[in-house]
Structure 1
Amino acid sequence: MSSSRKADSRAASVDVVVVGAGFAGLSAAERLVSMGRSVRVVEGRDRVGGRSFSGEVAGVRVDLGATWVSRRHTAIRDLASRAGCTTTGQFDQGRNVLWAAGRRRTYQGTIPTVSPVALVDMARVQLALNKLVASIDVEAAWNSPDAGRFDVISFGEWLDRKNALPATRALMTIVSKVQWGCSPGDVSLLHALRYIRAAGGVDHMLDVEGGQQQERYAETTQEIAKRVAGKLGDRVVLGTPVRRISQDDHGVTVRTDAEEIKAKYAIVTVAPAHRAGIDFHPPLPEQAEGLAKTWRMGVLSKAFVAYEKPFWRTSGLSGEALTDTGTVFITFDVSPDANGPGVLMAFCDPRVFDGFSPEHRRGRVVQQLVQLYGAQANAPIDYVDHCWGTEPFAPGGPNPAVAPYATTSYGPALTEPHGRVHWAGTETAGEWAGTMNGAVLTGQRTAERVAAAVAREPQEVAR
């Protein structure tokens, strides 16, 4: 990205320093600039986009990270539109494939129809889940009426108490892996309910048509970030991890390995767990320290397998598949069109994926696609994958996998400013937490609050 640069040794002085060049950080910077404030965005990675990251397979650009948008995700859609990026519908025509209990079958719709009994059980559990979700304060889940009761058990324990059948449990396990990068037993029920409420409910979270998986960006989601950063120009500094943020009554000083930035305020947009990588002076309050220690990131991996044509379509298949065993647990058709190449996106379980060589990972994925889609899947023309848990800087994703007790104990510290340090990022959102839309909204809102605070400051540049 030619408009962004590495840091140099010159000291900088701005109104606001923004830590992180994901959608929250870039949106905050864009909004501050539009309000006439001077900004420096400091990013530890050598790229912008955060958990949005592009790759290429068989000449097709693909999303190795954040992928989909809903029609209701108006903030990210507006940002993308202004950046000149266009949506394309997620292909979902035809029958889906289910591999469960060693058997392959096909079904129509979002919920697998394994049997009438399983379908009734799924409806029963989903109804109970929706009832709990409706009671959650989406802006502050820890203040919900039964927050304490929901936070002492895991999502998995709740499924046990509801006597969920194996088919229901398998589907909820896939939901948990995709949303939080962990199994249901590793995430608090309250945290799960908060994210489901933030996503607009179970149906909106799971559905393609009318749901969160309805559309993708033809240019990829990272391209949106690149274009926004391009407009910000040399205000964006890459490859510069923040080591220390100190503050006094007059302003903040942000130190990196290469420079020292003085500002009136700082907006930190990194995930809660990654706040621990910054030395704050004065130190963070006890609750904020606890947040950084306990809100660990989940882990998720993705693979893309390309073929000459999307051959599964000729068999009346959508390219969507769910599996209850193996490396791959869900697939989608992300082919550019019917003429090819055909591209299957596979979500992979890092526990049986990340530790192997690229060749071994490819073999595992292709072998499972053969089970799902037949012998033609054994002849790919290209392959690419990405393991978010092995990233050298700020690893993990897609969202925090917050264990029992940690939401009620430390959740309020998500957004509580630390003096002149304010927080943004998708985790800090109420509605749409965990989405690109949530990230954009928090960046814009935090920028507006900080800009108002800057306006109240003496007119001279901070120190």
Structure 2
Amino acid sequence: MYLFFPISFTLFLFASAASIRDVDVAIVGGGLSGLAAAKDVAKAGKTFAILEARDRVGGRVLNAHIFGGEVEELGAEFVGPTQDRVLSLADELGLTTYSTYTTGKSILYRNGTVNPYDADLATGGLPPMGSEAQAELASLLTELDSLASELDVHAPWNHANAPVWDSMTLKSFVESRITLQDSLVLFETAIRSILSTETEEPSLLYMLSYIAAAGNQTNVGTISRLVGSKGAAQDSRINGGTQLLATRLAERLGEANVFLNSPVRGIKLNGARYTVKSDRVQVSAKHVVIAMSPPMAGRISYDPLLPAGRDQLTQRMPMGSIGKAIAIYPKPWWRKLGFNGQVQSDTGIIRATYDNTPANESFGAIMGFIEADEMRALDKAANVSQIRIQRWDLEEFSRGGPVAYCPPGVLTKYGLFLRKPAAKIHFAGTEASPYWTGYMDGAIRSGERVAAEIIAGF
């Protein structure tokens, strides 16, 4: 029997001796974005304070400790090639990675039938289907990659066709290309695993920009890099769990600079400095970093008000709906049967799974994503020892994940305000990254960008 128990963050649960703190930079949000900003601000010799609403650092990166000292990630989990910043940070913090288990057959569960197949996990692999459906789906993916490659990742709204692409949903575009149910079901399953939305929710332009972001300065983004395992976004995991990225970085930054249980309620400009008010501490700073998703940042009171475009953006970008269910077994029994734990299904609450067994195989684990319209119920696997569920849509300071997305009409009108500062208030968060939007790498990149803005402004 494997028992879950709450993570202790006593190292970070500390009190402030003073109710007012004067610093150069106030950082709202103690996730990877805010911590990355603080790292570079500190390196430049500037003082800072991080105000985090939760009782822990990490944001949507969260480890669950289980019996025996092992962990399972309840939030962001995978890293892969071209995610340069998160891999660099892991190396800097002395963290190592191991490959996601991909040996053996994947499974497509379609129309009540189990269909094992040999997947090309570098490209996401196309499950078994009729040749016509396979050709149709392959053609759609190629077209999406081609259109995405035309975008400037820093300003996708500037493309000549952006107004047209932003006027339609991803669904309307796909249905103009797809005629067969097999290919449509598989594409919709892939989108749920990427954005945790249904295809009718994001605009086509937003989806194209998300694909374009799945790379770096020298590698063009592709949809296969988003959905693939080996050599793609789900390539590797971090030994000890991804939250170590946040906790180790916070330790280096110093506990006296991190205020937990401190949700920020208001930010007011007083002369040349901002007063940032939280439930626990008040901070005075020359610059402010908002390291949060746009919809959560919109819940803060600002004086003076933020530009209308930024406010419209925060009102119009909802969070995706995501949860994770992790089943723990004494051993990864599916491996001996020749399976890799990766399943795609056209039915059920959980429609995509991965082998989440640790590198030492001290126990077996299958992780399933609960996404979009399926966030209402859960079917438990037979003979499971323990199951752990994390519903990010019900987490007070996240209200969803993995990313806030843009419905039609948002990116072309308000996308500029994702990264545009409002005076000396700077906006970070994974949504504000031109590369790896929605991922840990994007969060870190955005934090480093705002730190550079601030340092240049002193």
* TM-score normalised by length of structure 2: 0.92
Report the CA distance between 1:258 and its aligned residue: 2.7
1:165 paired with 2:180, answer yes
Aligned pair partner of 1:27 in 36, 45, 58: 36
* Distance of 1:440 and 1:74 partners within structure 2: 10
* Counterpart residue identity of residue 116, structure 1: S
For 2:45, the equivalent position in structure 1 comes to 36
Aligned in 2, Cα 1:207/1:349: closer, same or farther, shift over 3 Å?
closer
Match of 1:190 among 173, 186, 205: 205
Q: For the residues of structure 2 that align with 1:339 and 1:54, how far apart are their CA atoms?
A: 18
1:278 aligns with 2:303: no
Label 1:338 to 1:113 Cα distance change in 2 as closer, same or farther (>3 A). farther
Among 426, 449, 453, the residue aligned to 2:453? 449
Q: Could you say if the C-alpha distance between residues 96 and 352 of structure 1 is closer, same or farther in structure 2, counting changes exceeding 3 Å?
A: same
SS of aligned partner of 2:276? strand
Measure, in 2, the Cα distance between the counterparts of 1:403 and 1:8: 45
Paired residue secondary structure (1:393): coil
Give the match for residue 122 of structure 2.
none
Segment of structure 1 superposing worse, 288-297 or 175-184: 175-184
| Equivalent in the alignment of 1:150 | 165
CA distance in 2, matches of 1:53, 1:251: 33
Contiguous gaps of at least 5 residues in structure 1:
367-377, 455-463
Q: 1:343 aligns with which of 365, 375, 379?
A: 365
Is 1:307 the counterpart of 2:329? The answer is yes
Q: Separation in 1 of the partners of 2:273 and 2:386?
A: 52
Contact conserved, 1:154 with 1:184, CA < 8 A, in 2? yes
Quote the Cα distance in structure 2 between the aligned partners of 1:85 and 1:439. 18
Among residues 228, 239, 247, which one is paired with 1:207 in the alignment? 228
- Using the TM superposition, give the Cα deviation of residue 171 of structure 1 relative to its aligned residue in structure 2, in angstroms: 2.2
Q: Deviations over 1:196-232 (max 9, x none)?
A: 1101211211211111110011111111100100111
> Is residue 260 from structure 1 mapped to residue 260 from structure 2 by the alignment?
no
Distance in 2 separating the partners of 1:221 and 1:78? 13
Match of 1:177 among 185, 189, 192: 192
How far 1:269 moved relative to its partner? 0.8
Tell me, yes or no, if structure 1 residue 10 matches structure 2 residue 19: yes
**Paired residues of 1:57 and 1:306 also in contact (CA < 8 A):** no
Q: Which residue does 2:147 correspond to in 1?
A: 132
Residue number in structure 2 paired with 1:459: none
Aligned length: 436
Partner secondary structure for residue 365 of structure 1: coil
Report what 1:48 is aligned to: 57
Displacement of 1:139 in angstroms is 0.7
Taking the TM superposition and a 5 Å limit, the aligned residue runs for 1:356-371 are: 361=378, 364-366=379-381
Structure with the bigger percentage of helix: 1
Query: Residue 349 and residue 415 in structure 1: after superposition, are their counterparts in 2 closer, same or farther (change >3 A)?
Result: closer
Alignment partner, residue 99 of structure 2: 89
- 2:213–2:437 CA contact under 8 A, matched in 1: yes
The alpha carbon displacement at 1:365 in A equals 3.0
3-state SS in 2 of match to 1:5: coil
- Structure 2: distance between partners of 1:338 and 1:232: 31
2:264 matched to 1:242? yes
Match of 1:438 among 435, 442, 448: 442
TM-aligned CA deviation for residue 339 of structure 1: 4.7
List per-residue Cα deviations over 1:292-349 (Å, max 9, x = no partner).
0001111101011011211111111111000011111100011124754111011123
Equivalent residue number for residue 105 of structure 1? 115
Q: Secondary structure at the match of 2:95?
A: coil
Q: Does residue 419 in structure 1 map to residue 423 in structure 2? A: yes
Question: What is the SS of the residue equivalent to 2:46?
Answer: coil
Change over 3 Å in CA distance of 1:202–1:27 after alignment to 2:
same
Tell me how far 1:249 sits from its aligned partner: 4.5
- Shift in Å at residue 64 of structure 1? 0.7
- CA drift of 1:350 comes to 5.8
Q: Pick closer, same or farther for the CA change 1:8–1:142 going to 2, 3 Å.
A: farther
User: CA–CA distance in 2 between the matches of 1:61 and 1:176?
Assistant: 28
What TM-score, normalized to structure 1? 0.91
Alignment-mate amino acid for residue 12 of structure 1? R
Q: Do the aligned partners of 1:303 and 1:386 also contact (CA within 8 Å) in 2?
A: yes
Counterparts of 1:339 and 1:275, CA distance in 2 = 40
Q: What SS does the aligned partner of 2:146 have?
A: helix
CA-based RMSD: 1.6
CA distance in 1, matches of 2:300, 2:16: 18
- 3-state secondary structure, aligned to 1:186: coil
* Cα deviation code 1:355-411 (max 9, x no counterpart): x5xxxx4xx131xxxxxxxxxxx2111111100001122311001132111111211
Q: Offset at 1:163?
A: 2.5
Q: Does the 8 Å contact 2:178/2:184 carry over to 1? A: no
Contact kept in structure 1, 2:392 and 2:398, CA below 8 Å: no
Identity of aligned residues (%): 30
CA contact (8 A) 2:196 2:402 kept: yes
Residue 53 of structure 2 aligns with an amino acid whose one-letter code is G
Secondary structure of the structure 1 residue equivalent to 2:387: strand
SS of residue matched to 2:340: strand
Q: What is the Cα deviation at residue 5 of structure 1?
A: 2.8
Query: Counterpart amino acid of 2:51?
Result: V
1:90-140 C-alpha deviation (Å, 9 max, x unpaired): 000111000112221011122212222221111111111112111222111
Displacement, 1:413?
0.7
Q: Which runs of 5+ in 2 are unaligned?
A: 1-8, 120-124, 215-220
